[in-house]
Amino acid sequence: MTLANRLAADEVVITAWSGVPDALTVELMAAQPFDAVTLDMQHGGHHEDSVLRSIVPVKRAQKPVIVRIPVGRFDMASRALDFGADAVIAPMVNSVEDARRFAAAMKYPPVGERSWGPTFGLPRYGKTTMQAWLEESNRRTLAFAMIETRQALDALDDILAVPGIDAIFLGPSDFSIAWSGGKTVNSTLEDMMETVASVAARARAAGKFTGIYVIDPSIAGRFVKMGYRLLATGSEGQLIARGAELQLGAIKNSIGQGG
């Protein structure tokens, strides 16, 4: 099933979050039991060449590839799709105009203005023909607009109404900074949780998919109950640190050095 089909079926999809611009590292990430892999160009180290090359091992693992582009780089949204990405997350979509520009880059006419040229993407989908690619792409590839600011919150309903915007993705850390007036960064800030839930509810009511970044795994269930279905987590650094902690803890316990 495609990412779009899984979310349409109201499944919870958990994506790893890759910031290391190396296809071998991404291959290792794709081999883990995540449902998808996200390549981060905004705060991670991924760039155009690493995205082009890193999509291959993820597709080989038969998993969806999501790319988060840098702020305002809607041209890279089209590039990511041409490389074979299944979805694109655009940060700091704060207005209807931002949403329209993003959707235009993501969708072929008549919905958007995406230029034809899936030089790498089409062959990576095997037997897909050019005509099938044209007919399927607007449905199969998903445009996630990030909601991270009070400005975006105020414009949310209008953003959701933009043709070609398939989903929202809430960035809880940036949202907490905006919510607190720059006083704190706290992805689980209790004071904003009612609003975080309302964002998901409004998106789902508009027929859009919902995603969120999960820093604290213990709160994931709460996000799912709110209506979020794409859960992003597990950067390379986090996974290495957690794996090392578990491995060393088990060894030290075995040799009598455990705490």
Active-site residue set: 43
List the beta bridge partners of residue 14. 231
Helices (H), the chain: 3-8, 23-30, 48-60, 74-83, 96-106, 121-124, 130-140, 150-154, 156-160, 172-179, 193-205, 220-226, 236-254
43 is written with which tokens?
Answer: 């705060």
- SS3 state of residue 39: strand
**What residues have CB less than 8 Å from 250, skipping those under 6 apart?**
none
Q: By the 8 A CB rule, do 152 and 168 touch?
A: no
- Look at residues 76, 110, 107 and name the one whose alpha carbon lies nearest to residue 90: 76
Q: In terms of Cα–Cα distance, which of 114, 69, 59 is closest to 89?
A: 69
